[in-house]
Amino acid sequence: MTSLLVDTDVFSFIFKKDTRAGLHIKHIENRTLHLSFMTVAELDLWALKANWGQKRKDLLEAYLHHFVIVPFTRSLSRQWAEVKFAMSKAGKPLDDSYAWIAATALLYDIPIVTHNRKDFEGVEGLAVISEG
């Protein structure tokens, strides 16, 4: 079974049962699905901004157990710095959260599935699967 890093947007489509999730199902079926620690942080922020109740937060926690959460490491920190530096040097500054997610995919050599290919355009060596 091959691994795949799920971007925040695709996770949220699946979690919310958004119809756009259907675009990505064929890519994630029968895969070991990973999430960057950055995606989990974004999801926690999403819950706070939307003022979720405890029941919805518990649903999110339970759903997260279906994914391998990739934690912060020193190696990941160095990979993030390399991504940020390369993109800045190329004149294409990359948002910190996208850089963490891209660095995770690069460090562990796994493709990323996203609905927003453009968020990762120009990241050298990054395998991107996108239907958006």
Predicted confidence at residue 131, as pLDDT, reads 86
Question: What is the pLDDT averaged over residues 46-75?
Answer: 96
For the chain, the three-class secondary structure string (H helix, E strand, C coil) is: CCEEEECHHHHHHHHCCCCCHHHHHHHHCCCEEEEEHHHHHHHHHHHHHCCCCHHHHHHHHHHHCCCEEECCCHHHHHHHHHHHHHHHHCCCCCCHHHHHHHHHHHHCCCCEEECCHHHHCCCCCCCEEECC
Predicted confidence at residue 75, as pLDDT, reads 98
Q: What percent of the chain has pLDDT above 70?
A: 98
pTM of the predicted structure, to 2 decimals = 0.92
For 81-117, what is each residue's pLDDT tens digit? 999 999 999 999 999 999 999 999 999 999 999 999 9
pLDDT beyond 70 at 1: no
Fold category of 3-130 in CATH: Rossmann fold (3.40.50)
Predicted confidence at residue 48, as pLDDT, reads 96
Question: What is the pLDDT averaged over residues 15-26?
Answer: 91
